Chain A
Amino acid sequence: MLSILAGLKNPIMNGLLLGGLYGIVGIGMSMIFGIVRVVNLAHGDLVILASYLSFVTLSIFKVSPLLTLVLVIPAMFLIGFIIQYYLVNRVLGKDMNPPLLVAFGLSIILQNLLLLIFTPDARTLLTDLSITTLPIGSFLSIPVVYLVDFILSLVTIFLLSRFFSKTYLGKAIRAASDDEGAAELMGINAKRIYAWAMAIAGGTAAVAGVLVGMTFTFYPHTGPDYLIIAFGVVIVGGLGSLLGTFMGGLILGLAQILGAHFLGPGFQLISGYIILLVVLAFKPTGLFSKG
């Protein structure tokens, strides 16, 4: 029994750390879903777009991938704003389908654009961190890059929560998401606020993209894989709280790694999918939702 548990400590640790990465991947989608009530089917592709932008920056400037955030975050910020302001805002209305389909179209456009520009070759944001592991005492050994992912995720989510509780824009976003009409009566231009929210979601996608690129290889069509992860994180963690989304990430990460541990590496993704399907079928508002 003890040996089984002992054998589990690495998978559990890795699962939690990976979950941190998943958390930051899901935050952007959680924001848009909760605020604008739109599921951004292009979110995964935006994350991968950020990975490619980082890749380009790396090729030009030869710096550490984390440093590319200086350029990638503002770029994704702008892209997010433009997408919301000029595209999604145009189709916001009572019908849920047009924004969904526009996002779908965007997803396909992004994937094929990346394919044309970068070819189908696998890429990665190489860094020494990617291959080193950190021994903790004599009984744990974790990949450093997972740790970096986890810490950066936590930091980003913390900053985001401060933004929402301390700044005027953050409060305005929360107000608009509570009651768009009442917010407009306060002088808030709801459509513009949604664009800012999407910009911020783009910023989180930037962080997620760089971390993903540092941790795994990516291709132009990797986007949908992370879309399902983001969706899983949001559904499992529930809408309405950043912390809940982060917890959703942890659960998903754990499920995947433990699934792989017990069933084999081919089943890593499926373990996550099963959890997602179960939660979707029985408590779609999420395990930690505020309701």
Chain B
Amino acid sequence: MASAFSKRLYGIAIVALALASFPLWASRYWVLVALLFSLNLALSEMWNLLAGYSGLISLGQQAFVGLGGYTLAVFSMYYGFPIWLSILIGGMISVLFALLISAPIFRMRGVYFAIGTWTVAETLRILFSNWKYVGYGMGLFVKPAYTLSFNTIFYAALLMGVASVALVYFILRSKLGLGLMAMRDDETASETLGVDIFRTKLICFILAAGVTGVASGVLYLHNIFIQPFSAFGIDWTVRLVFITIIGGIGTIEGPIIGSLIYVILQQWLSEYPSVSLLILGVIAIAVILVAPKGIMGTIQERLGFEILSPRRK
């Protein structure tokens, strides 16, 4: 079984441990960067699982961001649930919602699926904005989060980041992953070989929903304030799309590079959020035109190696 835990996995573990040590020696600024990096990583690994491996371009992951965040707020504040439990419930609610919409949503293919997911998220946005229970569009403060220390939240975020990478890695090396790779190569052919396409995609969709929901809970521990406009906004997807494209769609390491670039860019230009998005958009288009496989994808193609290889050896 030594082959399953190759040197490369150890390398990633080392990086993770290094990040974990940040609170001991790094400035708060860098811990924050690492926190945001980890959360963006979790979200984009999930988006990558959908778009890069399952062929599902979802423009509606923000539905689960909002659901996760609001669950945390509502359960911890209104019902006094422990914070971490509320976050987990947020993941569950995301999973349930994904299951709920899966029947109609999976009837839509390709771009129809994309717009369908986006419409669902927009619908949620409007519903929450009109819902007295959650304070309409004015939003909620996640008061219980005040009791947590910054470092605690950081470690939760780091856990999410590492867990998401590990999850994708192990999925791809599993039987499900074989099915995914076959689907990616040729969907019709894989079906004739017995790959249950619908079930495979559904599992990925639900997993992504759950992880996104939980990661969002941690995110809102940090943000403290949640409102429909931003929680269910398309901006989330914008970031995930750009991160994944630039980093390399369809590679496990892609979102790692992409998230790093994004967070650094965002912090550097924190005074001018539109400029950072603008630059991101320009870079993303340039990448699609010139190196459509993104940074990691192009490196892998040129040099022929993969840091985290999903191939069983």
A and B assemble together: yes
Other than A97-B57, A276-B119, give 7 A-B pairs with Cβ distance below 8 A: A98-B288, A109-B278, A109-B281, A109-B285, A270-B123, A280-B116, A281-B116
Query: Residue A12 at the B interface, CB < 8 A?
Result: no
10 shortest interchain CB distances as A-B pairs:
A281-B104, A112-B274, A109-B281, A108-B281, A112-B278, A105-B285, A266-B130, A39-B111, A105-B284, A115-B274
- A50 to nearest B CB, angstroms? 20
Q: A104-B241, A228-B118, A282-B107 are in contact. Are A274 and B123 (CB under 8 A)?
A: yes
Q: Which residues of B contact A (CB under 8 A)?
A: 57, 104-105, 107-112, 114-116, 118-120, 122-123, 126-127, 129-130, 234, 238, 241-242, 245, 274-275, 277-278, 280-282, 284-285, 288-289, 292
Q: Which residues of A contact B110 (CB under 8 A)?
A: 96
Partner of B288, one of A105, A112, A267, A276: A105
Query: Residue A288 at the B interface, CB < 8 A?
Result: no
Q: Which residues of B contact A113 (CB under 8 A)?
A: 278
Asked whether B123 lies within 8 Å of A273 as measured between CB atoms, the reply is yes
Q: Which residue of B is nearest A90, CB measured?
A: B289
Chain A 69-105 near chain B by CB (<8 Å), digits 1 or 0: 0000000000000000001001100001110111011
Partner of B289, one of A87, A224, A235: A87
Asked whether B116 lies within 8 Å of A269 as measured between CB atoms, the reply is no
Partner of B245, one of A101, A235, A264: A101
Query: Residue A116 at the B interface, CB < 8 A?
Result: yes
- A137 to nearest B CB, angstroms? 36
- A25 to nearest B CB, angstroms? 15
Query: CA–CA, A101 to B52, complex, Å?
Result: 13
Partner of B275, one of A98, A104, A106, A112: A112
* Interface hits, A93-137 → B, CB 8 Å: 96-98, 100-102, 104-106, 108-109, 112-113, 115-116
Query: CA–CA, A194 to B238, complex, Å?
Result: 27
- A246 to nearest B CB, angstroms? 20
Asked whether B285 lies within 8 Å of A87 as measured between CB atoms, the reply is yes
Asked whether A277 lies within 8 Å of B288 as measured between CB atoms, the reply is no
Q: Which residues of A contact B (CB under 8 A)?
A: 39, 87, 90-91, 96-98, 100-102, 104-106, 108-109, 112-113, 115-116, 224, 228, 231, 235, 264, 266-267, 269-270, 273-274, 276-277, 280-282, 284
Q: A91-B289, A100-B57 are in contact. Are A280 and B115 (CB under 8 A)?
A: yes
Q: Which residues of B contact A284 (CB under 8 A)?
A: 107-109, 112
Asked whether A269 lies within 8 Å of B288 as measured between CB atoms, the reply is no
Q: A106-B281, A281-B107 are in contact. Are A100 and B126 (CB under 8 A)?
A: no
Asked whether A280 lies within 8 Å of B111 as measured between CB atoms, the reply is no
Which residue among B120, B122, B127, B274 has the maximum number of chain A CB atoms within 10 Å of its CB? Answer: B274
Asked whether B274 lies within 8 Å of A116 as measured between CB atoms, the reply is yes
Q: Which residues of A contact B118 (CB under 8 A)?
A: 228
Query: CA–CA, A109 to B289, complex, Å?
Result: 16
Query: CA–CA, A112 to B57, complex, Å?
Result: 23
Asked whether A101 lies within 8 Å of B115 as measured between CB atoms, the reply is no
- B234 to nearest A CB, angstroms? 6
Q: Which residue of B is nearest A39, CB measured?
A: B111
Asked whether A101 lies within 8 Å of B288 as measured between CB atoms, the reply is yes
Partner of B112, one of A267, A273, A280: A280
Partner of A108, one of B129, B280, B288, B289: B280
Query: CA–CA, A240 to B122, complex, Å?
Result: 28
Q: Which residues of A contact B285 (CB under 8 A)?
A: 87, 102, 105-106, 109
Q: Which residues of B contact A270 (CB under 8 A)?
A: 123, 126-127
